[in-house]
Amino acid sequence: MKKSEIINLISLAQKARKNSYSPYSGFAVGAAILAASGKIYTGTNCESASYGATVCAERAALTAAVSAGERRFTAIAVAAGQKPTPPCGICRQLLAEFGEMTVICAAADGDGHIETTLSKLLPDALTNNDLKG
């Protein structure tokens, strides 16, 4: 990925984070996912008093993209916390449904980030190939 693309994804994730609804944890998260089509979709976390109903920013961005018909993705940026924070386990699993991609973990503010891959964050992920008997 070009540096300008990375910076743009981080910026969009940080902007989406500002719309977070996180009254319980106080941990606002934003995400921006880049589809193979070149379109970018954003999402933020939305918490619930029924904690299990909470939706993470990464899943919100992915769901927006899938709702628009996207199925292939190149990268996702996540912005949260004082230091770069990776996606949680359930987000990693859902992202893995759509194959390998670059994962950019950024702090809530600033331009510092860590760049990795989904397969490094979730080795040996359960995929649809595992469900075929």
pLDDT in tens, 8-40: 999 999 999 999 999 999 999 999 999 999 999
Q: Over 90: is that where the pLDDT of 121 sits?
A: yes
Q: Which CATH number fits domain 3-131: 3.40.50.720, 3.40.1280.10, 3.55.40.20, 3.40.140.10?
A: 3.40.140.10
Q: Over 90: is that where the pLDDT of 70 sits?
A: yes
Q: Where are the alpha helices (DSSP H) in the chain?
A: 3-17, 57-67, 89-96, 118-121
pLDDT-derived band at 104 (thresholds 50, 70, 90) equals very high
pLDDT reported for residue 133: 66
CA distance 114 to 72: 22
3-state secondary structure of 39: coil
Q: Tell me the average pLDDT of the chain.
A: 95
Task: State how far Cα 99 lies from the chain centre.
Answer: 14
Domain residue ranges of the chain, discontinuous segments joined by +: 3-131
CA distance 44 to 132: 33
Average pLDDT over residues 39-50: 98
pLDDT reported for residue 122: 96
- Local structure of residue 87 (DSSP, 8 states): P
Average pLDDT over residues 92-112: 94
The set of catalytic residues is: 58
CA distance 93 to 85: 16
pLDDT reported for residue 129: 83
Average pLDDT over residues 44-58: 97
The tokens for 126 are 């359960």
Q: Over 70: is that where the pLDDT of 114 sits?
A: yes
pLDDT reported for residue 91: 97
